[in-house]
Structure 1
Amino acid sequence: MRSGLVIGAKIGNGHFGDVHLATDQVHGQVAVKIIAQGGTSQADWDLEKADFLKEAQNLAKATHRNIVQVHHLVENDTGDALHICMEYCSGGSLQSKFEAGPMTVKSVRDVGNGVLLGLDCLHARGMLHRDLKPGNILLDGTGRAKIADFGLVTDRLLLGYGSAAGYSDHLAYEVWHHQPTSTKTDMWAFGMTLYRLLHGKQWYEESPAPRFTISSGGFADSLKWLPHIPKQWRRVLRAMMADDPSRRLGTVGEAQKAFSRLPIDPAWSCTVTAAEVAWTREAKGRRHLVRWQRHSPRKHEWSAWTEPLGAGIKRTVAGSNGVIGSGEAVKQLEAFFAV
């Protein structure tokens, strides 16, 4: 089958190739993953094409509103590239939201519920994703989360397991110790994805890269949390990322049950820079603000106040009453947000 696609601008990168906006004669505006032969020999290219066709067939099996729909796979007119034609998601990936800063707990729970439904569809068909991360979760025009980029998915499983592969910061403890992937390693990656979305790029990168520490064990207990993240969220994410797979939240059903109990109020919005963390929310005609100044690793201070949305008086609510250490600042802020 030859391509009748009109290829447009590049809009992203997938595991095997670049993604472009395109127009398809049947489906209209679509996204197309272009997999080029490049310097690959013809014999190897023929084998790779067969593998990529398998990838597209796997995607076609997993039709679900929380999975990016693949329409078809075709060769270009010269035979040196494959085009995987798929649903276009105009909201882009969650990578951009991660880079912009922390998402609200409500937004993360909404996204998480959608991803769990998509994962349930995959796992029910004996398939693994093995590369779950913010960049592989897309939003359609209505804001619905959809799992994308199944370059590592397989439905050829041995005793429920596939081979160890994926994005290194999202690889579970057992994979670093040469154990195969499973639905539980997908769940570990899901937990890491949620953690990243709750905290944003700046906060995430202030800690050592997970790929250097996961294999030592106890990674979930070493996570550094923004003070406003509720304890219930912390417990659930730690359970998703437990070292021992037998103690991990390992099924979609278990995760959905845990998710249904997670609080989403009060709805704090948060921004993080190297020097400051700030929170804001609105309630009962007033804007509530918290500012945590990180002057240096050992010198911190914070303050909280409210101000009217219209005319009125600013009111001081709480604060550190001067410079304190980082540990004490975190302790005080956690107590403030827990009230």
Structure 2
Amino acid sequence: MELVKSGNSSLQIPGYRILRKINQGGMSTVYLAIQRSVGRQVALKVMSPVLNADPIFSERFQREANIVGQLSHPNIVGIHDIGRYRSLNYIAMDYMAGGSVSERLAKGPLEPLEALNVVRQIAMALDHSHSKGYVHRDLKPENILFREDGSAVLSDFGVARAVAHTTRMTNSGMVVGTPHYMSPEQARGNAIDGRADLYSLGVVFYEMLTGAVPYQAEEAVAIAIKHLTDPIPKLPARHALYQPIIDRALAKEPAKRFQRGLDVADATDQIVTTLAGKPSQQISQLNNASVGVSSLARALFLTLLSSLRDRFIKGWQVRLENPQQVDSVRKDQDTLVRLRQLVSEPTKHRRPWALTAITAITLLFGWSVHSTFSGKETWLSQITFSDSARRHTSDTTPSTPSADRSEEVQVRDVEKPPVKDLVQTQGQEISQGDSVNNQSPENSLSGNLPTQNSAVLSQEEPNSVPKFAFTVKTEPEDARVRIMNISPRYAPGIQLEPGRYDVEVSKPGYDRYRNWIIIEDQNHQLSVKLQKAYFAGKKIRSKLSSGGQGPQMIVVGSGEFMMGSNKRSNSRPEHQVKIPKPFAISTQEITFEDYDRFALATGINQPSDSGWGRGRRPVTNITWWDAQKYVEWLSKQTGQKYRLPSEAEWEYAARAGTDQTFWWKSSDARGKANCRRGCDSEFNSLFITKTGPVANYQANPFGLYDTAGNAAEWVQDCYQPGYDKNHNTSAPLKIKNCQLRSVRGGSMRDPSSRIGADYRKGLNENSRAKDVGMRIVMELY
């Protein structure tokens, strides 16, 4: 039972260990908690006790869980549990570590492509919700959250209703929703459908781009009137490219808006693919907001003028010796990164002169390209972007090393000759082998296609152009495939004319693949195997070949830290150690549940639990060699490389970025760990000392539990008193004929003075102790 103080009273929720308050509103309070039964972090939403007597609010709170329970979508928050304890209603749902759009807006407008990506993901979530018959009715920045991988998630269905009951009036006659984001029909109190949510999404998109809502007033009624009567707002000139989406989303009449979330997603794809290549003549049938050549040219022209204006202002400020940061120039780079690709492709139809001229002028102002000439056609290729620009070309995948690995990606018919020269871009030299564009000048269109195809591609005979089937087989199978330089959505077997196509394959948690392929005179199949991407804080659970999952791991990034302590004789000298690459370490000590699965599978004896219980308690009474056998078995079961951590890795993860003995930056260990003295542990008394279940106390900033106390942990190193001053790497210390191994973290049998991150001791590798267990590492690279 966990107690959380709230004013003069305490909140009790059985089955949950509440860590801290995340957010509080008038209707409920959200806590970060551990669901004890599975050791999972959840957001625990607890309804305000004051409102429990009101049946309307209680019904609304319960409705949220019932609705979300019927909606299964990667961009909709997941529900794990719903219950009532005494007078408290609560819901346990996914914990979103990335915060909300509202929190990001507090720091200023979002980057345009990031905002466009958020809109697309939430539009897909709304399309799913509407297809199930539910209208959200209260979409706003606070209700759009981010997972650890950066993907956007729609939350808070507390006021959602089925379409058959979508009047805006509650039983009390009150309009439900937030005035700044209400559609006109909501403000009138009329019946609504999913198009009202799409209007709200348009308002959020406008706010993400500009940092302000489109209609502002001091009173809610005045805001509602503006939604009903004021014209659709205009974006700043530098964002004119996105005005068609705003115009369609914020139309006063629902019939003139996007009709479903998929339409919005198509419109965002249209802009991205148009910028990535030539404006296509063929538009997806679901796309009701296409961007025509004339509107694109006008938007590019306005973007150029705005960029020039900002550069002039910035230069004038520097000249007056009063420099200020001008963020709009950098934000324009998001659009201009796409513009660089605009002229990188040979086109079937001649690009309109206005568009070509404006793009060419844009490129003259400081963006370097490498030109190649082929026959009568001039095209710019080998455009290489800076790292910051490249991050914005992927909508959901974290910034990771290139996934363009020839031994794992099979591309037929396309040669990849070595590229020797470099392109100077934004003051950086970046190899042209970058995955954003992996075509060399030798692989230009005219150099690869047969001569007769030139006639096929001419504008004079459009009806005679043959088409061929193109299919991408991906691993994993649910990876997303996009062809960036055409508007139609990719589908297996899509019919394409001869030419070059910019193919992107992506999935959150994996390196993004992007490359050019050539369709010549036959059907084409491309096989792509994505590599997993790892980022700090990412949680991993590998599947066991015998069934079930391995221990939960969390990625710890590379870095440097001061290891040891000059205050302890066996931890001297304090010295700097570099952790050269990320690694994954188990969030918890390996439990009896984990170890017993291994023991039963291999037929070895199960270690004693000392009468304290098994299950979620840390495994103890194992030797260092037992630990070695466990990680070997786990490696074979998962295909991953598991091992014990080195002392340096263990201490780096335990310190979690702090330079003090305890990660909580205080010498007071009460309520923070399980130890003999100084912790006030519930598992220790005058006559009894025992381990407690893992993750019973708060995790450190890296997400690791029980790095202090509970069970001490074997590591890989040979033990010697003090450190070798010449050993400054993260590799384990190896000594010939070693028998003593290092043990870290202290245990429930140690006082608080011996459970710090710098405390260490030696133990014979064949010893079994009731207070020594293990934590493990998985190698990532």
- Normalized against structure 1, the TM-score is what? 0.71
Q: Is the 8 A contact 1:5 1:23 kept in 2?
A: yes
Change (3 A) 1:124 1:162: farther
Specify the code of the residue in structure 1 equivalent to 2:77: V
Q: Is the 8 A contact 2:65 2:82 kept in 1?
A: yes
Q: 1:183 aligns with which of 194, 201, 211?
A: 194
Distance 1:206 1:170 in 2: 9
Q: 2:88 aligns with which of 66, 78, 81?
A: 81
Tell me, what secondary structure is at the counterpart of 1:75?
strand
Specify the code of the residue in structure 1 equivalent to 2:329: W
The equivalent residue for 1:298 is: none
- What's the offset of the Cα at 1:134? 1.1
Q: Is the 8 A contact 2:52 2:88 kept in 1?
A: no
Distance 2:42 2:34 in 1: 6
Q: Is the 8 A contact 1:220 1:241 kept in 2?
A: no
Please list, as runs of the form range in 1=range in 2, the aligned pairs for 1:190-269 lying within 5 A after superposition.
190-201=201-212, 204=213, 208=217, 211=220, 212-216=222-226, 217-221=228-232, 223-231=233-241, 233-263=242-272
Tell me, what secondary structure is at the counterpart of 1:230?
helix
Unpaired segments of 5 or more residues in structure 2?
A: 1-12, 170-174, 277-299, 311-324, 338-366, 369-383, 387-424, 430-781
Change (3 A) 1:310 1:136: same
Q: 2:63 aligns with which of 49, 54, 58?
A: 54
Specify the code of the residue in structure 2 equivalent to 1:155: A
- What's the offset of the Cα at 1:7? 1.5
Tell me, what secondary structure is at the counterpart of 2:267?
helix
Tell me, what secondary structure is at the counterpart of 1:100?
coil
Change (3 A) 1:213 1:154: closer
- What's the offset of the Cα at 1:179? 1.4
The equivalent residue for 2:78 is: 69
Distance 1:168 1:22 in 2: 32
- What's the offset of the Cα at 1:169? 0.4
Distance 2:25 2:202 in 1: 21
- What's the offset of the Cα at 1:54? 2.8
Please list, as runs of the form range in 1=range in 2, the aligned pairs for 1:1-339 lying within 5 A after superposition.
3-13=14-24, 16-25=27-36, 26=38, 28-38=40-50, 41=53, 44=54, 48-76=57-85, 79-155=86-162, 157-158=164-165, 163=169, 164-201=175-212, 204=213, 208=217, 211=220, 212-216=222-226, 217-221=228-232, 223-231=233-241, 233-263=242-272, 278-280=328-330, 281=333, 283-284=367-368, 309=427
Distance 1:227 1:53 in 2: 45
- What's the offset of the Cα at 1:259? 1.8
Tell me, what secondary structure is at the counterpart of 2:204?
helix
Tell me, what secondary structure is at the counterpart of 2:133?
coil
- What's the offset of the Cα at 1:68? 0.6
Deviates further, 3-12 or 138-147: 3-12
Specify the code of the residue in structure 2 equivalent to 1:100: K
- What's the offset of the Cα at 1:6? 1.2
Deviates further, 49-58 or 188-197: 49-58
Distance 2:114 2:187 in 1: 31
Change (3 A) 1:156 1:244: closer
RMSD: 3.4
Change (3 A) 1:205 1:244: closer
Specify the code of the residue in structure 1 equivalent to 2:178: Y
- Identity percentage over the alignment? 22
Residue deviations 1:154-173, cap 9 Å, x none?
A: 12624x65645211101111
- What's the offset of the Cα at 1:310? 6.9
- Pick the structure with more helix per residue: 1
Change (3 A) 1:209 1:7: same
- What's the offset of the Cα at 1:252? 1.4
Distance 1:206 1:252 in 2: 23
The equivalent residue for 2:611 is: none
Q: Is the 8 A contact 1:156 1:162 kept in 2?
A: no
Change (3 A) 1:14 1:60: farther
Residue deviations 1:73-116, cap 9 Å, x none?
A: 1223xx12222100001101111111211112210111111101
Tell me, what secondary structure is at the counterpart of 1:72?
strand
Tell me, what secondary structure is at the counterpart of 1:196?
helix
- What's the offset of the Cα at 1:207? 5.6
Distance 2:218 2:234 in 1: 12
